[in-house]
Amino acid sequence: MGIGLVKNARIKPHLSAITCECGYKILFVPDLAAMNLAIEKHVLEHKNKGANDAEASRIEDALISQVFDKAAESQ
């Protein structure tokens, strides 16, 4: 487990998270560097499990999109 990561755990209702298509949840924190690190680590896990560059890029883009959506919601 790393910064901003919650692996196979419930996230309390008052906390916000982004969710990968694989079901992995990443706790949303208001620290861009921490979110970037958490997303990069998770995408690397997909690559290590055999995801090609296009799949990894698609997953990363989907997670980043969720970060932008969450940030806009908090405004």
Q: In the chain, where are the structural domains located?
A: 5-73
pLDDT score, position 19: 97
The residue type of 52 is: N
Q: pTM higher than 0.85, yes or no?
A: no
**Is residue 16's pLDDT more than 50?**
yes
Is 47 within 8 Å of 54 (Cβ atoms)? Answer: no
**Is residue 12's pLDDT more than 90?**
no
- Minimum mean pLDDT among 32-36, 59-63, 71-75: which range? 71-75
- Work out the pLDDT band at 6, boundaries 50, 70, 90: very low
Residue 60, Cα to own-chain centre: how many angstroms?
8
